Chains A and B, each alone.
Chain A
Amino acid sequence: MEMATNTPNEGKSFIKKQTGEQAIKKRVRPVDGIITITLFITGIFSVFTTIFIVIILGQQTLLFFDSRAYIIAKLPVVDDALTEAVDLDDGSSMSEFSDATLGESIDSNQTEFLISFEGDRIPFQQPQFIQIGVGDDREVMRILDRGRRTIKVERGLDNTTPIAHPSGALLFSMTERQVTLIEDMPVVQSVQTIPWEQVNVPFASIGDEFTFRQQIVKINDFNSTNMVLQCITPVPQTFNRGDLPRRLAQALSDGEFFDYNNLRWQAESVSDNQVVAACVQDSTAQVAWSVLPVTMLKISDIIEYQSQDWRVSSYTNQTVRIERCDAGQLTDIPLLQGFERAFTVGSLIQISTEIMRVESVGENSIRVERCLQDTFGLAKTRTDGFYPSISIADEVEFGEFLTATDWVPQNGAYGILPLVTATILITIVALIVAVPLGLGAAIYLSEYAPLKVRNTLKPILEILAGVPTVVFGFFAVSFVSPVLQGIFGNVVQGQNILTAGIVVGILIVPMISSLSEEALRAVPRALREASYGLGATKLETTVRVIFPAAISGILASIILAASRAVGETMVVALAAGSVPKFTFNIFEGAEAMTGYIVRISGGDLSYNTIDYNSIFVVGATLFVMTLLLNIVSSIVANRLREAY
């Protein structure tokens, strides 16, 4: 019975205890476990950021050192006669390089001559062949050596004859056959021939009469270039003898027929000074449209037919031949493996006489857009030539990367030094501006300013720090640069290192001042009081006691600010210059690392090109530089710190 009474009691409390424990476990275990894991994941997330940064920069850097530049020449429309591919002995083919012009005509014995090329560098490497002239007048030479603007060639090669004064057409070859010839470029153009009645523009018809050279004439026949006119009503007209061609004027006598001004005339009376003549009744003459006072449909006029725009390609007196090419048609062009890297999306290439735009780059092929608006109706395609003018530069070498002083990766110049020197110069100028200003402001705020002043001034400094950098870029371009030009005159280029440096300096003042102020304020009061107690003035206390005590924090802030200046982008991109240049003249413009990245990546950057890889290499260099500065800064902060 007791048991019976006790058990339920015990059971009850047992149950209560059980549920309590369970409730605690319920509260604690699953929820807390999940939360901890979730929070841990958010915590570890930023580590992935770093890992990704390192992997991406590293991988692209490796790719960069494994790649070469594919140099694509700009492609003006090339005269048909010049686009003749020449097969050399070694199986390589030649490509037109029409951007280059010969600096002088060369004679048969000359072995060195000048080639001027848009941009400074001669964009091809030895050993290569060049060809001067075309057809039977051509001469192929082997390049022996090249200078900055000259090349030295070997002449009199087996299969060519030395020629004296070539026409100036310059072709250059590539060391390997680079692009497959296209088997069959599909024709994408539609052509129609329609009768005149369907052309919805006013036009001449046979039998029309009008006045031409003051004679009444009738249209007998016409086609797209000429018109056959028949004289129906001769109107006597007076010519000055002097106006007539001398040969005519001398020989002319009454009643004589002569051809002049596109018509056939008969002289009615000839005096010493004047000739009265009229056209010969019913005589016909072929006259080009261009000299007629009437304008009719012209070749390449755009006309509307069936509510579409068509371009007139030719016409006869019966029919008009019109053509149109619907924009946006795409054609895939197969290429040899790897050569798709020579093309950038959006660039124009030329195949035979048709200009196309590269729409996308696939694996071993490119897709081109046909029938571009400005080549409307030009889409005549032949299957025999492909001239994207490509050459291949040497592979990047690490030594060259670090020491060479030219940086045009697209043209095979891979020295990063110009970018680095520009960045360092900008940083130095920035520090020269920012360190005195920043430290002065910090000392004033921490040591001199009354509390109230400090509380109002510090937020204003924060505003300066909160202004987006693009605004500082605007400031540099629209204010600082003109002012500098006003002070120093024309030696200052529009974009220059000094401007960028000064403005970046202004940009990092708040950083130096706020970090240094914190360091100064962290110096214990006791030190200050001891110094005053020894009779030091405020300045002496500040300079001899507090400043040395806070030196670790101050140095760290300066180094951090330098790191910020190195990575600063917008001011540099807008104000420092957009051409990489190895210079130490701060009045000149020179592109810095960040500026290069912005310039290249702006617009449509296609992947796996040397452009794409090169910005990551510059990025990696930048990353290493800032990382080193940051590490040095934290070491300085820790090493030099005095413990109080």
Chain B
Amino acid sequence: MSNRIEVGIFRTSVQARNLRGERMRIFYLFSLIIAFAVLVILFASVMNQAFGLVAVNYAVDPDNLVRPIELQSRISALPEASIREFFGEEGAEAERPILEGQLYLYYTLIDQVANKRDDEILLEELALLPTDQVIARINGIDNVTRTLRGADMTVPMLTTLVGNQALWQLILSPNTRTLEELTNPELGRVIENNVSREILQLVYENLSPLSDVREMNGIPLSISIEGSLIPDGWEERAINDLSASERVQLLTENLSQEQLLVLINERVIKEVILQSWNLDQSILSRGAIEIRVEDALQFGTELRWRSWLSADFITGPLTKTPSTAGIYPAMMGTIWLMLITVLISFPLGVGAAIYLEEYASDSFINKLIEVNIRNLAGVPSIIYGMLGLALFVRALAPITSGEIFGVPSNVAGRTILSGALTLSLLILPVIISASQEALRAVPSTLREGSFGLGATKWQTVSRTILPTAMPGIITGAIIALARAIGETAPLLVIGTATFTTSVPSGPFSSISAMPTQIFSWIRESDPQFRNIAAAGIILFLAVLLSMNAIAIVFRQRASRRSIA
């Protein structure tokens, strides 16, 4: 009887114990799942910011570019009588081209009045204002009267013109063509009207094979824009002898209409991103975003999808506006850092590992080295940055800035080389211990066999042990390198430039790197910088994770081979 009860108690207690065990198992599993969930959320939050809707507007409305061209052709098509009518009595004496020019000038004036920054007004509304108010507005604009003076217009004339409804009709009638429908010479005029200062640069970029825009000065066009179509008789002229419209002519004769349109899109129309939304907002609250774009943002704003990670982002230069900023200089900096770091740390690390594993006796100094390496691995990376700052950037500035090698430098030791040296020191302990482990894994029979065949120590090491341990060493080195590339703190401390437009081209270039660039983007207050930071992170993670993946594959293949 009592036995039975005991069995019952025993059973319930076993069940309770098992239940408890089951609960705890779920807890353990749960904690593992949380770790993975975090990983997923991490990637998701990066992705979330790298793609999404943006509200885009143009710096210049393309319609406004067409209007002057349109107007000029419209004026020239007007019958002479109606042009003279605009000017009343005074118009009878002047020649037609002068009158046309004055009419056009008048349009630009009206246009300026309408687009006066602090007090914008639509042309249609301006037309309805009484004359004296228009005049008052004109007087309120700097420089308008200067143009007036140049055009020999007096205030009374202007008064007449403002009151002339026929002229308003001429100005207000809508464009008949779009920008895409303009002819090449007309597109050239658009360029000349809007970016007159950049024409030389445009000619250089599109036509010249020379390496610098300044080289074009003073040499004949037949050389400076070799291979392009040059109008007759211009071959011997230099670019600086040409007037702006002649330079534009070079462009319009050599480029296709599509190319010109691209130029105008890039240089004149220029998209401006007014606001950006994350992926989740873009999908879940699309309606609210559309309402906001319609109600709160300026007229003509378009909503469209944008991937912040784009080819332009990867190959583009660094700029101060998030919509055009690229990561190319930082990426090149990281590549250079990686190359030099490998060159320095790999031989040193492997050498040290060989010494410790194969040569070192059990002396005090070797023990010290071992302990020291273990401790160095635990030193925070930022301390290495301070070491780099004091040692490489400051004390060894003549070497790291390349001065003693005769390289002119103005970065005072804050170079790729300093960064690479710092990172090398940082990952040296990692490479050493990884290599040590790989060497230790080489079976001692191999060693003994080699010695037995009469090989010296170095022969044994270099021909038997190293080749066997190489896969392990390389795996360790790749993982260490990935860690070095991911380090931000030491590079920040040694003073990585986060805004440099120059692309690093060697060990003595000013240092820049992807992680520090991303860091400075995260710190910016403009939320669009978060978007490009996210895009940079995706690129950066792709590089690092593929390095890690390569290392893991390498390791698994090597271990499979050694088992076989």
Contact = CB atoms under 8 A, between A and B. Distances in A.
Interface of A: 27-28, 31-32, 35-36, 38-47, 49-50, 52-53, 56-57, 60, 201-202, 210-211, 293-296, 436-441, 443-445, 447-448, 457, 459-464, 466-475, 477-479, 506, 509-510, 513, 537-540, 543, 560, 563-564, 566-570, 573-574, 594, 597-598, 601-605, 607, 615-616, 619, 622-623, 626-627, 629-630, 634
A438 B122 CA distance: 65
A570 B521 CA distance: 13
Interface string B13-30: 010011011001101111
A39 B351 contact: yes
Contacts of B399: none
B21 A540 contact: yes
A436 B45 CA distance: 24
Contacts of A437: 31, 34-35
Given A468-B488, A603-B495, A619-B383, A574 B523 contact: yes
B124 to A, nearest CB: 27
Contacts of B156: 211
A50 B376 contact: yes
Contact of B548 (A293, A463, A469, A568): A463
A49 B36 CA distance: 37
Given A35-B458, A623-B379, A469 B429 contact: no
B414 to A, nearest CB: 9
Contacts of B380: 564, 566-569, 594, 622-623, 626
Contact of A444 (B28, B145, B354): B28
Contacts of A467: 39, 42, 486, 541, 544
Choose among B139, B366, B390 the residue with the greatest number of A CB atoms under 10 Å from its CB.
Answer: B390
A210 B155 contact: yes
Contacts of A468: 485-488, 515, 540-541, 544
A560 B456 CA distance: 41
B511 interface: no
A306 to B, nearest CB: 16
B39 to A, nearest CB: 5
A39 B457 CA distance: 13
Interface in B408-440: 425, 428-429, 432
Given A41-B351, A295-B142, A466-B486, 19 more contacts: A39-B355, A46-B432, A202-B149, A296-B146, A437-B35, A444-B31, A460-B36, A464-B38, A466-B545, A473-B522, A474-B46, A475-B41, A569-B380, A573-B489, A573-B519, A601-B389, A601-B494, A616-B390, A626-B379
Contacts of B154: 210-211
A136 to B, nearest CB: 43
A246 to B, nearest CB: 26
A28 B45 contact: no
A203 B25 CA distance: 90
A441 B34 CA distance: 9
Contacts of B149: 202, 294
Nearest to A29: B456
Interface residue tally on B, bucketed by range: 35 or more
A202 B146 contact: yes
A201 B150 CA distance: 10
Contact of B18 (A27, A35, A537): A537
A627 B375 contact: yes
Contact of A598 (B374, B493, B534, B537): B493
Contacts of B482: 466
A211 B360 CA distance: 100
A627 B378 CA distance: 8
A605 B495 contact: yes
B241 to A, nearest CB: 15
Nearest to B482: A466
B359 A563 contact: no
A474 B533 contact: yes
A460 B548 contact: no
A53 B383 contact: yes
Interface of B: 14, 17-18, 20-21, 24-25, 27-32, 34-36, 38-39, 41-42, 45-46, 49, 139, 142-143, 145-146, 149-150, 154-156, 347-349, 351-352, 354-356, 359-360, 365-366, 368-369, 372-376, 378-387, 389-391, 394, 425, 428-429, 432, 456-459, 479, 482-483, 485-489, 492-495, 498, 515, 518-519, 522-523, 530, 533-534, 537, 540-541, 544-545, 548, 552
Contact of A570 (B42, B351, B519): B519
Contacts of A49: 376, 387, 425, 428
Interface centre among A447, A462, A602, A634 (most CB of B within 10 A): A602
A564 B368 CA distance: 23
16 contacts: A437-B34, A440-B30, A444-B28, A460-B36, A468-B488, A470-B515, A475-B41, A475-B45, A479-B45, A594-B489, A597-B385, A601-B495, A603-B495, A604-B495, A605-B389, A622-B380
Contacts of B36: 457, 460
Nearest to B348: A42
A470 B519 contact: yes
Given A44-B369, A630-B375, A471 B352 contact: no
A622 to B, nearest CB: 6
Nearest to A214: B155
Contacts of A537: 14, 17-18, 20-21
B35 A513 contact: yes
B31 A461 contact: no
Contact of A539 (B21, B378, B432, B457): B21
B437 to A, nearest CB: 13
B133 to A, nearest CB: 15
A350 to B, nearest CB: 26
B39 A460 contact: yes
Given A56-B387, A56-B391, A469-B488, A441 B35 contact: yes
Nearest to A538: B21
Q: Which 3 A-B pairs have the closest CB atoms?
A: A567-B380, A440-B31, A468-B486
Contacts of B519: 470, 473, 570, 573-574
B502 to A, nearest CB: 17
Given A45-B348, A478-B49, A27 B378 contact: no
B387 A52 contact: yes
B35 A461 contact: yes
A294 B154 CA distance: 11
Contacts of B545: 463, 466
A32 B459 CA distance: 9
Nearest to A439: B31
B393 to A, nearest CB: 9
A36 B530 CA distance: 52
A468 B483 CA distance: 7
Contacts of A626: 378-380
Contacts of A564: 380
A436 B31 contact: yes
A609 to B, nearest CB: 13
Nearest to A539: B21
A463 B35 CA distance: 11
B383 A567 contact: yes
A202 B487 contact: no
Contacts of B20: 537, 539
A474 B35 contact: no
Given A46-B352, A477-B522, A594-B489, A630 B383 contact: no
Q: Name which of B45, B349, B373 has the most chain A CB atoms within 10 A of its CB.
A: B45
A594 B14 CA distance: 52
B459 A27 contact: yes
B355 A474 contact: no
Most chain A CB within a 10 A radius of its CB, from B21, B36, B139, B374: B21
B382 A441 contact: no
Contacts of A295: 142-143, 145-146
Output the residue of A45, A201, A468, A473 with the most chain B CB within 10 A.
Answer: A468
Nearest to B390: A56
Nearest to B156: A211
B495 A475 contact: no
Given A444-B32, A478-B45, A539-B21, A46 B355 contact: no
